[in-house]
Structure 1
Amino acid sequence: MSALLQVEDLVVEVQARRGTSTPVDGISFEINRGETLGLVGESGSGKSLTAMSIIKLLPTRAVQMTGGRIVLDGVDMASYSNRQMRDIRGLRIGTIFQEPMTALNPSFTIGFQIAEPLRRHLKLGRKAARARVIELLEMVGIPRPQEIASSYPHHLSGGMRQRAMIAMAMSCEPDLLIADEPTTALDVTTQAQILDLILDLQEQHGTAVLLVTHDLGVVAQACQNVTVMRRGLIVEQASVFDIFERPAHPYTEALLDSMPARNAGKARLPHIAEGVFEA
């Protein structure tokens, strides 16, 4: 079975007055349908640039993808125009951004923003889109969905904004969901709720998930496979079990050593069936 997403020899360069730097330098990985892949590394490792390269939302003109292929379901998107990518974003690839307060437009209501991909990609009319928005808000566990749909982002808590962002990302039931540090700005209890929500929605819709994070606790809970990045390079790729129990690279070992309760094996890998650790 071919992978849903294949990233091959991706290179991202930054043009600056002092010259050119390469924060992402020839990385490759793939994600199968229904799989959650953790893209892990410290701040500055290049993981978010990698994620944004997939959907061509790099932060400035000075940051450009200069090499490699990004293949979605057998089609290379590297040469797609901005117009073609607008047809992909939201419909085939949904994105949960790290900070929903900056990703959501403060000038429009939550309902308007969730309805936008429904009207653009699925061609729903205003009433049908509004009804679907209410369903989506209920699906992500937001109370009083009709009231929230008429609210603006600054009216909502951080956890509520993130749930609204998830509703928007999943509105067209995309094949791939990119979650860029989706729990970083949230308290511990809300983090767990948001992560459980993403996994529940993945199970319902069979969506592949690229989970970008520096939190190995999140990786242990959510991922089947892990790609570890450092300074723009991939230093290790393995199953989540092998990453935690048999790390092959010193950097991976250092990341694990930074975790509290390093030796609590079963607590760190709750989604792996009991008995594995005795095998």
Structure 2
Amino acid sequence: MDDTKLHQLLRDNNKALLLVIDALPFPIYYKDIHGRYLGCNKAYTEYAGVEREVIIGKTAYQLFAPEVADVFTILDKQLINEPGVQINETPIHRSDKDSSYVKLHKATFCDETGAVAGLIGAIIDITEQKNLENKFQRLASYDDLTSIYNRREGTKQLINLCTDAIRKKRPLSLIILDLDNFKSINDTYGHGSGDVVLKMAAQTLEHNSRTSDIICRYGGEEFLIILPETTAAGAINIAERYRLLLEQLNVQITSSDSLTITASMGIGELDLNFPDQELMLKQADKALYKAKENGKNQVCY
């Protein structure tokens, strides 16, 4: 079946319409119920990388790599089995091109008897849109300076982990970590040097954390570390390890100046009898205040 016969089935045997479809900048294709191409516009030939005469009569598996053909064919079969309109967004990974994200708009059409005869589909590249969405999502969830979670995302993760710990009746603890004498670093060496210290501290915490732990920048020089499946005793051990790692850092500020940093930490543990993440945060904050009062560079609970 060629393009002309297809458009007779569509009751759109109109040359002007065919010209319009062919001029559209995004790929459009037509298939029968068995997945064989009945026709396509010029943009689709460019997308497939072959001429229209080659495309017609073929299936997706004869034009694309199996992993790409799978994406198209599975969705097409779903539409044929459930006639109507179908809209999907999906990533496409092609070895000969950069990976992309596309939106597929498709609809079935019928023959003169009313039976489903095939489908018509359009492929719209939304890669740039998805990249922007991911960028905005990252801005919303990550701290721009340290590249770890920000306070908003850390709080969100804490709520979710508290809910999970309460449901499973499992331990959950957290650490509030504050870099000691950070204001004097900024005052002495400048805010740029303070930023270097924050980045190095964040990297040290992240690179030495367990995969299940959540680390976020909680304030100016304050970090929140959430520890699933961890009692207060376990949190104290983890915090002490972090304290020693930070103490051993040598931060190069200028070609001739370097400095060491220390941190004070407070521990909070979820009380399953009175489960409240705010209470746990207050407990950790109070312990942190105690660590500062007692001379800094220590862990308190």
TM class, shorter-length: under 0.3
Greater relative contact order (CA < 8 Å, ≥ 6 in sequence):
1
- Scaled by the length of structure 2, what TM-score is found? 0.22
More helix by share: 2
- Structure index of larger Rg: 2
